Structure formats: structure tokens, C-alpha cells
Amino acid sequence: MHRTPLALLNLIHDRKKFLTSLAGVAFAVLLMFLFNGFKNALYDSQTQLLEKFNAEIVIINRLKENMFVPRAFARRRLYQAKAFAGVEEAFAVYTSEARWKNAATKQTLPVRVIAYNPAEPVLPTADILAHQAALKLPNTALIDTRARAEVGPRETGMITELADREIRIVGTFSLGTDFAAGNGNLLMSDQNFLRYFAFRGPEEVERSFATVDLGLLKVAPGTDVPRLVKTLSDNLPQDILVLSKDGPDGFVMRERKYWEENTNIGFVFSLLTAMGFVVGIILVYQILYTDVADHWSEYATLKAMGYDNLFLFTVVMQEAIILSVFGFIPGLLVSGLFYNLAAGTTGLVFQMTLERVVSIYIMTFVMCLVSGAIAVRKVQATDPAEVFGL
Amino acid sequence: MSSLPVSPTGGPIVSSHLSAEPSVQVRSLNYCFGRGELRKQVLYDISLDLFGGHIVIMTGPSGSGKTTLLTLIGALRSVHEGSLRVMGKELVGLGSRQLVDIRRNIGFIFQSHNLFESLTACQNVEMAVELTGQLQNKRQQAIAMLEKVGLGDRVDYKPQALSGGQKQRVAIARALVNQPRLILADEPTAALDKKSGRDVVTLLQNLAREGNCTILMVTHDNRILDVADRIINLVDGRLESDESLQHFVATHDPKTLDRRMFIL
């Protein structure tokens, strides 16, 4: 036989109050998930394209501090790199900002164009590989279905304008937006890239195959990537930067770190998450304090009967933990819905990883414990002698 | 003041337990509230013995110190002056942790039932059994006690579904389930109607006889004075009178009744 589960029974006795309490905790959980989610989404989104690149080593212009900076480097550096032992392939990737006309509203707005030789496996995802042949046709491109709604319809077969030239959408792929992408991404062949960006007019930069925005190197299996990166850096001219793609000093982390360290996104959203935490403490404290105040004479009677402060402490703490568990679950579910909704409208990646779920639960747990610790002082201060004569 | 339970007014104390050790022994007890300038003495030189199987009713006007004396005997406050032995243990000088241990052997009944609305009658009683650590047969013990107070058919009812008298009987079951040798009751009938109040005191009386335990009851309710074996009257913190029921009835003939007794 177990002890009477006083904490649980006290909480669920008044169903309506219990549900309201859970809603309160769930709300605090939702706030923390949303703000934390936005923070992570903004960071994760910056690197989603970079992570998909099929390469171990990336070469960029030394001045390209982040993907926003439109600095290209000489294509011959790629050929130079290819001469080193261990480098199997070198792919050239071209990117450019371009004005896109929304097919429905006829408004123009900037998008990012990513171009490469479709014969090379630069972005080997199933949806892109399926349209490889179609990309070879002139004036064609693939559109990102997760581009922002402002770019208008995102369907295969539609015809609109890119950089004041007609373009035919021959397929779609799924990527999502980031700060550098503007409203969305278009994917085209390097040949088409030249058609659109070689001679755009006197005020625009002329693009050719002589300069490359990103150089991707595939290495032979079993190559020591950090050592190869070092060799390339030491031996190639200093106008480029050679980075491994993954790892703590890699290209992907560098991009993420840039946004983390050079913007206030992290601070703002961490502050908002902390506010959600504080709101939660206040809500849970109110719930627990009300329970204690409502049952003051019962708790005092327990103390008179011979229960000690530790027992009452355990009861209040159990209530706090029950609230944290049962409030977290609906909070998590609603947050999941909101994540999907937000991902759909913004094109940012909202990832609910196990690690993030666990860390938010730990925050919820601590939040409830802190509230419980504040509320319990009321019960502990209860003088059982005062129940007499009431 | 005499160390024996002899009434100051000379009334005979009838007791079959005179030879036994008293369950409560109070000697020259003084008690003050507050400190320094605000220090106010509420009990003066109280000496008293309570014996098993007796129902002792304590009366007196408001502010006479009845409740204070009750909480002192109940180990709910620390005593500093005089001597207070409860079931053979000296309470003077005990720390709060030791007082908690003393309290586990005392049954408390309050004016309001103080039952958890969220627990059934049985669970409320079980809360008391759990203090003894007997978790295996706690339900059987609680049910047996509830049957004794006449609530065998209300075991799994929540307080909401019980009448005022029934709730107070659950509270009595909770106080008595661990067979304490001392029961302290603070106006247990005040919130009840005449019949329920009568049922509750009759029940207490039977249980006290059966379990040979001492009941000390504070009450203003003159309808229930007849269950008392002894009546103690406290006025302004002093023991005014301590007499048997027969003597009390004789001296408190309605014609010569001391009105102070019934100032409510």
C-alpha cells in the first residue's frame, strides 16, 4: 500500500481549476518554446542551404564574411585546388540577387538565384535530381516551395520574369529562406545563370564563369580533411579562404556564429524566453499559493496531528512537479502546431529536436520548483496552534 | 495549589484511576504571549491532573486562556515556566521536533472538521494512520474506525457529500484511529445542530470509556456539560473551580447560576 497521494488529489479535486492551472503552465511552456523556437529557427535557417551542399571543403573569397556579402573569387583557384592530392572534384556555385516578378500580383521583389552545372551533384536531393534534365533547357529554373508567400504561386509550368527576362519554372524543390536569400531561392543551371546575369545593364555587376561565389571540393574517401584544408590554405593565394564544411571551425558553423555574434537576435529571444520563464513562475506560484491558502486549516491540522514541515514541503513540491509534467505535455503539443504554422508562413526551419524539448522541460521543471519553494514558505510558517479557537 | 485533583471549592473528585499515573500533569504553569513591553501573561500558576477514562470539560469566558492551555497540553506551543507532563513526558524545554513526536500520540478535534475536500472519508482517516507507518492495513484500520463512529456506509464519500455531523464524526475517527490516550477537543459541537452535537459527544463519551483515554474539551455549549466527569472553570488565566459534575450541578442550580459560565 502506498501513502495517500495528497498532492495529486488536491490538485485534481477541482477539475476546472486543475485544467485552468494546466493551461497556465502550458501557456508558459508555449511562450518559452516559441521564443526559443524563433531564436533557433533564425540561426538554423542561416545554415540549411550550406548544410545541404555536397562537399567536404568549401572555398570562398576571403572577404565573404557571411552569405550576404556578394564577393566572388577567381575560378582558377578551384582548378589549382583540384591539383592537390585528395581533392577529387571541384564544383563552382554561382549566386546572385535578382528581381522576381510575382506571377499573380505582378509585383517585383528580390530573390536569390543559386546556379551550378546540373551535371554535377552539388545539391543531390531527390527533388532537385528529378529535374536535372529540365534545368538544362534555356531560361528555366526550379523554385523553392518554401519561399515566402510574397513571391506568388510556386508551381511547375508557370512563366514569369526574372531580372526582366522571361523564365519558365520547370520544377520545385524544398529548401526554405534565410537572411541572404531574401524572399526565396531559385535554382538554375550555370548556362542559364550566364543568360540572366552576364549583361544586366550598366549599373549591375557583370557575371561570368571567371568568378565563382562558392567553391565546393569533394575529397577522396579516407582523406584527412583538416590537414588538406591546412595544405590548401598554405599553398593557395591568400585572396581565398579554405574551410572544411563541417566541424566547429567549419563553413557552416562560421555562418551560424556570424549571426549569433553580430546580431541581437540571440539576446532578444533569450530575454523573451526568460520572460516566459518568469511568467511561468508567477503563474505556478499563484496556483500553489492559492491551494495552500485554501487548505490552510487542513494543512495546519496535519501539522497538529504530527506531520512535520518536510512532509508539507514534499506535498507542495509534488504538486509543482505534477503541474510541470501535465502542463508541459499540452504546451509541447500546441508548440508543435505553432512551429508548423510558423515554418509554413516564414519559410524558416523550426526544429523540435529532442535536446531542445528536454531543455525546455528542464526549464519548466525548475520554474515549477522555484514557484513551489516560494509557496511552501506559507505552509511551513503555519502555526498549528492557530487552528484552535477558529 | 494542591498537587492532587482536589477542587478548590471542595467538590469531591470521583475517580477510579487515582492510583494510576495521570495522563496530564500540570504544575505551577505560567504562560505569556509576546516579549518585552508587549509581554502579557495569560495563564497564572495552573496546576491540574487529568486521568484516563475521564471527560474533562473546560469552560470559561472568552480570553480566559482555555485555548492557550489546550494548545500547551497539545504540545503545539513550547512551555517555559512550571512543569507540564503529558503521558509521562515532560514538555518543558522540548524542541519543536520532539513536540511533533508528542503530538502524534494525541488526538485533536477542532471546531471545524478540517477535512481535505479532495480526500474521501476513509482517506482522511488514513492520513492519520500513515503517521504510524502502518501502510499495509491502513484502509482496514480506517474503515473499522469509521464503523465505530457510525459511518460504515459512508467510507468512500467525500466531505462534500456528508452532513455537518457526519463530517465531525469523520474528524473524530481521524483523531481516534491511532488510539491516543489523550484527546483534545476545541468546541467540537459549536458548528453543529443540537442533535448532531449530542450524537458527537455521546460518541466521544463511549469511545473514551472504551479506550480508557482522557478527553479534555473546551466548550461554551452548556447542552453537553452532562457528559463531563469533571468541569474546570478558567477565569482570567486562573483556575477558578475544578469540580465533579454532581457538584457542578448542585452549585449551578439555575437560581443561583453564575452567569459568567454562559457568556458566549
Give the integer Cα–Cα distance in Å for B217 and B182.
Answer: 11
State the pTM of this model.
0.76
The sign of the CA dihedral B18, B19, B24, B26 is positive
Residue A91 DSSP SS3? strand
**Cross-chain residue pair B110–A10, CB shorter than 8 Å:** no
Per-residue model confidence (pLDDT) at position B6: 45
Per-residue model confidence (pLDDT) at position A331: 95
Asked if B144 reaches chain A (Cβ–Cβ under 8 Å), the answer is: no
Rounded-to-10 torsion of CA A77, A79, A82, A84: -60
Chain A residues close to B131, C-beta within 8 Å: 305-307
- Note which residues in 50-79 of chain B have CB less than 8 A from chain A: 67, 70-71, 74, 76-77
Nearest chain A residue to B77 by CA distance is A385
Q: What are phi and psi of A136, to 5 degrees?
A: -75, -15
* In the predicted structure, residue A94 carries a pLDDT above the cut 90: yes
**Cross-chain residue pair B119–A9, CB shorter than 8 Å:** yes
Nearest chain B residue to A6 by CA distance is B119
Between helix A296-305 and helix A309-346 the angle, nearest 10°, is: 140
DSSP string, B2-14: -SS---TT-----
Asked if B238 reaches chain A (Cβ–Cβ under 8 Å), the answer is: no
Find, among A185, A167, A213, the residue nearest to A113 by Cα.
A185
Chain B residues close to A13, C-beta within 8 Å: 117-118
Per-residue model confidence (pLDDT) at position B252: 65
CB atoms within 10 A of CB A177: 24
Percent of the residues in chain A that have a pLDDT greater than 70, as a whole number:
99
Residue B76: which of A302, A304, A307 has the nearest Cβ? A304
Q: Grid coordinates representing A104?
A: 499573380
Asked if B179 reaches chain A (Cβ–Cβ under 8 Å), the answer is: no
DSSP string, A361-381: HHHHHHHHHHHHHHHHHHHHT
Per-residue model confidence (pLDDT) at position A292: 85
Give the integer Cα–Cα distance in Å for B214 and B73.
Answer: 12
A and B: number of Cβ contacts within 8 A: 79
Per-residue model confidence (pLDDT) at position B19: 46
Across A191-199, average pLDDT: 91
Chain A residues close to B174, C-beta within 8 Å: 305
pLDDT by 10-residue block (mean), chain B, 264 residues: 43 47 88 85 90 88 87 88 88 86 90 91 93 88 91 92 91 90 89 85 85 88 85 89 75 57 54
- Alpha-carbon distances, residue A252 vs A214, A304, B246 (angstroms): 13, 64, 97
Give the integer Cα–Cα distance in Å for A68 and A62.
Answer: 13
The sign of the CA dihedral A36, A39, A42, A45 is negative
**Cross-chain residue pair A4–B114, CB shorter than 8 Å:** no
**Cross-chain residue pair B67–A384, CB shorter than 8 Å:** no
- Alpha-carbon distances, residue A203 vs A30, A107, A163, A200, B47 (angstroms): 48, 21, 13, 8, 108
DSSP string, B40-106: EEEEEEEEEEE-TT-EEEEE--TTSSHHHHHHHHTTSS---EEEEEETTEE-TT--HHHHHHHHTTE
Per-residue model confidence (pLDDT) at position A50: 92
Give the integer Cα–Cα distance in Å for B144 and B122.
Answer: 10
Asked if B111 reaches chain A (Cβ–Cβ under 8 Å), the answer is: yes
Q: Taking a C-beta distance cutoff of 8 angstroms, is the pair B183, B107 a contact?
A: yes
Asked if B108 reaches chain A (Cβ–Cβ under 8 Å), the answer is: yes
Nearest chain B residue to A382 by CA distance is B76
Q: Grid coordinates representing B128?
A: 492519520
Residue A111 DSSP SS3? strand
DSSP string, A328-359: HHHHHHHHHHHHHHHHHHH-------HHHHHH
Q: What are phi and psi of B137, to 5 degrees?
A: -110, 30
DSSP string, A161-213: EETTEEEEEEEEE-----TTTBT-EEEEEHHHHHHHHSS--TTSPP--TTEES
Asked if B235 reaches chain A (Cβ–Cβ under 8 Å), the answer is: no
Query: A216-220, A265-269, A379-383: which has the minimum mean pLDDT?
Result: A379-383
Q: Taking a C-beta distance cutoff of 8 angstroms, is the pair B31, B12 a contact?
A: no
Per-residue model confidence (pLDDT) at position B12: 42
Residue A305: which of B67, B108, B139 has the nearest Cβ? B108
Per-residue model confidence (pLDDT) at position A221: 92
Beta strands in B140-213 (DSSP E): 182-186
Please indicate whether residue A160 or residue B16 has the higher confidence score (pLDDT): A160
Residues 6+ apart with CB under 8 A from A297: A387, A390, B110, B112, B114
Nearest chain A residue to B123 by CA distance is A4
Per-residue model confidence (pLDDT) at position B254: 57
- Tell me the ipTM for this assembly: 0.82
Q: Per-residue pLDDT tens for A318-344?
A: 999 999 999 999 999 999 999 999 888
Q: Per-residue pLDDT tens for A279-292?
A: 999 999 998 888 88
Find, among A304, A5, A31, the residue nearest to B102 by Cα.
A304
